[in-house]
Amino acid sequence: MMVVGGENLYPADVENRLLKHDAVADVAVVSVPHREKGEVPVAFVVRDGPVSSDDLKTFALTTGPAFAYPRRIYFESHLELSGTGKVDVEALRERAITDIGEQL
């Protein structure tokens, strides 16, 4: 769970919303630190058709609460799995934090 501007948000809630988009085959959502909000969601998406990050952000904003839209979207060919066969969310989170740095 992450706390976005005082609101509790589960990554699965954002993932389930994005999976409803026709062009999304798979998705993983992680939290990253944010100067004003505390934490914000970031999504790693495997596409199943043409879609842009702006399209997905708009989709998330129109189908759910404003605090729950992913602030950044990375497009992947597949989601890396950990040794247990689950998506390696810690590696994704570290990658997002390293890439974003102090930008959010």
pLDDT tens profile 31-70: 999 999 999 999 999 999 999 999 999 999 999 999 999 9
Cα of first residue to Cα of last residue in the chain, in angstroms, is: 19
> What pTM does this model have?
0.94
The candidate with the shortest Cα–Cα distance to 7, out of 31, 39, 30, is 39
Confidence (pLDDT) at 50: 98
φ, ψ for residue 65, nearest 5 deg = -65, 150
Share the mean pLDDT of the chain: 95
Above 90 in pLDDT, residue 100? Answer: no
The candidate with the shortest Cα–Cα distance to 63, out of 92, 6, 24, 104, is 24
Query: Domains plus CATH for the chain?
Result: 2-100 (3.30.300.30)
- The residue whose two tokens read 């501007």 is 5
State the Cα–Cα distance between residues 37 and 30, nearest whole angstrom: 15
